[in-house]
Amino acid sequence: MTTAVLETERLSLFRLSERSPEDCAFTLRQLNEPSFLRNIGDRGVRTLEQARDYVFSRMVSSYRSHGYGLYGVRLKTTGQTIGSCGLIRRDALDAPDLGYALLPEFESCGYASEAAAGVLAHARTTLGLHRILAITDPANAGSIRVLEKLGFRFEKMVRLPAEDIDLKLFVSDVAES
């Protein structure tokens, strides 16, 4: 089992690897969940090979370039990967962006808030980051609730390159958290 980057009371967050068949299978499933497609978008990943390429080009390259990225979220009790959570560096934003997604059967259990709080603490104490952003579809009420619970505040509407909708941009100054 992969070494944890950080742990919370119930969760272990770890670096995903394109070399792990389990990580690639999880990624393939997550990227094709109806809730992911609706709230985050279609990444066009339909095969295990495409999932492996996606993990390498998105996650692993971010770990190497920035020292952070989206991590797998695993239950400590069972070792099952239930989602992803971490920081994304987007050229269109002036600071890292908090992202998270859970498999549907693990939603509404407090895991997204717990994982995101762990990532924010890690960003502050380990990575030395002071400003964290988050973007979400205005219709994604669940995600907005999580961000507000974590102390993020709405700043403005934005449209990222290659997106066809305006997104809500939230900000958190983790130095004051």
Residue 37 amino acid letter: L
CA distance 134 to 171: 6
Q: Which two tokens stand for residue 160?
A: 């990222």
CB neighbourhood size of 31 (10 A): 21
Which pTM does this prediction carry?
0.93
Q: Which two tokens stand for residue 8?
A: 């919370």
Alpha helices in 47-133 (DSSP H): 48-54, 61-66, 111-125
User: Domain coordinates of the chain in residue numbers?
Assistant: 4-176
Residues near 86 by beta carbon (within 8 Å), at least 6 away in sequence = 13, 68, 69, 70, 71, 98, 99, 100, 119
CA distance 118 to 6: 7
Q: Does domain 4-176 have CATH number 3.40.630.30?
A: yes
pLDDT tens-digit profile, the chain (177 residues): 678 999 999 999 999 999 999 999 999 999 999 999 998 989 999 999 999 999 999 999 999 999 999 999 999 999 999 999 999 999 999 999 999 999 999 999 999 999 999 999 999 999 999 899 999 999 999 999 999 999 999 999 999 887 788 999 999 985 443
Nearest Cα residue to 123 out of 172, 90, 82, 76: 172
